[in-house]
């Protein structure tokens, strides 16, 4: 299962992107929808909200009074934190249940407005951020949801900044233009990256190798490597604590082929063996023997095991070296 995290600020275009992914056959998990389900009438979630905020947060029909709740929590960070404490763990548990039901060959797109705020990025194979200028987002939400400008701005102020979203984005979709342009971007993303990534992941097959063309140093390389490292640490836990960005792309200003290199030293062959299936799940299947021999020789890392990213959009190799090996 390929897990994609989709996020963006209010009105950025997440639902539009998610719907297009669904047209391509993806399974969509909508966090806003689950957040409504876990506070529906009769749930423990709604009872906890009444305990915390009083029955003034209920409508005459006994439902959550969403406008009243929104007015309170987007003006008061402590109240918002209290609401989030009630709702987010329940949404997390429901998400896990829904994911467990998805077929093994699924592409799951998790539409989650607060992905950055809740530190969820490392749990996905790919993070897609959709963004638009703030004034455009305010206008769209005003027009389509009937919210006041002030109310939209209060939500924006309680969400992550663009810079925070940039830091986790493997894919950045710009939605300042027409909706048709956004849809074209999603189509290309599915065709060129998501489909082959899912297939590679399922088959335990690395992405195609890059040609060795040396290019200008890309100042984004360290940040890209950092995202891969956080993802691997998330999957492997303590065993991947020592993982590092190495090689030419890690040297500031140095031109290099567009292949990120990571290295993980482990204490024993047994540890290396135990990591192989986890690395494959995290999107780093082992490279076949002949290719691995070449790559080890190129990188001067004799004795290392070589794993290569299954993502055709971000070539990366991981060398696992065993410290006690002669």
Ligand X SMILES: Nc1ncnc2c1ncn2[C@@H]1O[C@H](COP(=O)(O)OP(=O)(O)OP(=O)(O)O)[C@@H](O)[C@H]1O
Ligand Y SMILES: CC(C)(COP(=O)(O)OP(=O)(O)OC[C@H]1O[C@@H](n2cnc3c(N)ncnc32)[C@H](O)[C@@H]1O)[C@@H](O)C(=O)NCCC(=O)NCCS
The answer to the question of residue 18 lying near ligand Y (CB under 6 A) is no
- Which range binds ligand X by CB under 6 A, 12-20, 46-54, 283-291, 297-305? 12-20
For residue 195, count CB atoms less than 10 angstroms from its CB and return exposed for 0-12, middle for 13-18, buried for 19 or more.
middle
CA angle 237, 300, 268 (to 5 degrees): 35
Question: What is the footprint of ligand Y within residues 96-125 (CB under 6 A)?
Answer: 113-114
- Of 12 and 292, the one with the shorter C-beta distance to ligand X is 12
Rounded (to 5) percent helix, strand, coil in the chain = 50, 15, 35
- Of 157 and 323, the one with the shorter C-beta distance to ligand Y is 157
Residue 12: contacted member of ligand Y, ligand X, none (CB under 5 to 8 Å, by partner type): ligand X
Q: Is 11 annotated as a binding residue?
A: yes
The answer to the question of residue 179 lying near ligand X (CB under 6 A) is yes
Find the shortest distance in angstroms from Cβ 66 to ligand Y: 4
Find the shortest distance in angstroms from Cβ 206 to ligand X: 34
For residue 191, count CB atoms less than 10 angstroms from its CB and return exposed for 0-12, middle for 13-18, buried for 19 or more.
exposed
- Of 43 and 158, the one with the shorter C-beta distance to ligand Y is 158
The answer to the question of residue 257 lying near ligand X (CB under 6 A) is no
DSSP code per residue over 4-61: EEEE-STTSSHHHHHHHHHHTTPEEEEHHHHHHHTTSTTSHHHHHHHHHH-GGGB-TT
Q: What are phi and psi of 255, to 5 degrees?
A: -65, 150
Q: Is 13 annotated as a binding residue?
A: yes
Residues that bind ligand Y (CB under 6 A): 10, 31-32, 35, 66, 69-70, 73, 80, 83-84, 87, 91, 113-114, 155, 158-159
């Amino acid at each position: 299962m390929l897990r994609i995290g989709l996020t963006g600020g209010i009105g950025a275009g997440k639902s539009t992107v998610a719907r297009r992914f669904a047209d391509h056959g993806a399974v969509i998990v909508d966090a806003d929808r689950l957040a409504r389900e876990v506070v529906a009438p009769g749930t423990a979630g709604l009872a906890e909200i009444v305990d915390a905020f009083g029955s003034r947060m209920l409508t005459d029909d006994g439902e959550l009074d969403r406008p009243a709740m929104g007015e309170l929590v987007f003006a008061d960070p402590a109240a918002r934190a209290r609401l989030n404490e009630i709702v987010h763990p329940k949404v997390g548990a429901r998400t896990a249940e829904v994911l467990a039901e998805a077929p093994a060959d699924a592409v799951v797109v998790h539409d989650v407005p607060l992905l950055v705020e809740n530190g969820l990025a490392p749990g996905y194979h790919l993070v897609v951020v959709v963004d638009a200028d703030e004034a455009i987002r305010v206008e769209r939400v005003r027009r389509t949801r009937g919210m006041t400008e002030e109310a939209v701005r209060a939500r924006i102020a309680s969400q992550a900044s663009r810079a925070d979203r940039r830091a986790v984005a493997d894919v950045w979709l710009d939605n300042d233009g027409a909706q048709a342009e956004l849809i074209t971007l999603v189509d290309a993303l599915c065709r060129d990256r998501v489909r082959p990534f899912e297939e590679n992941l399922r088959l335990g097959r690395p992405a195609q190798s890059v040609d060795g063309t040396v290019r200008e140093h890309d100042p984004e390389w360290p940040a890209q490597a950092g995202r891969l490292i956080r993802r691997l640490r998330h999957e492997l836990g303590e065993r991947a604590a020592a993982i590092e960005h190495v090689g030419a792309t890690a040297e500031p200003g140095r031109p290099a082929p567009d292949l990120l290199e990571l290295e993980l030293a482990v204490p024993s062959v047994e540890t290396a063996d135990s990591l192989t299936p986890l690395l494959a799940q995290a999107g780093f299947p082992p490279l076949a023997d002949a290719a691995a021999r070449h790559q080890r020789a190129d990188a001067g890392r004799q004795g290392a095991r070589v794993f290569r990213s299954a993502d055709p959009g971000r070539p990366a190799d991981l060398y696992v070296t065993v410290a006690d090996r002669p």
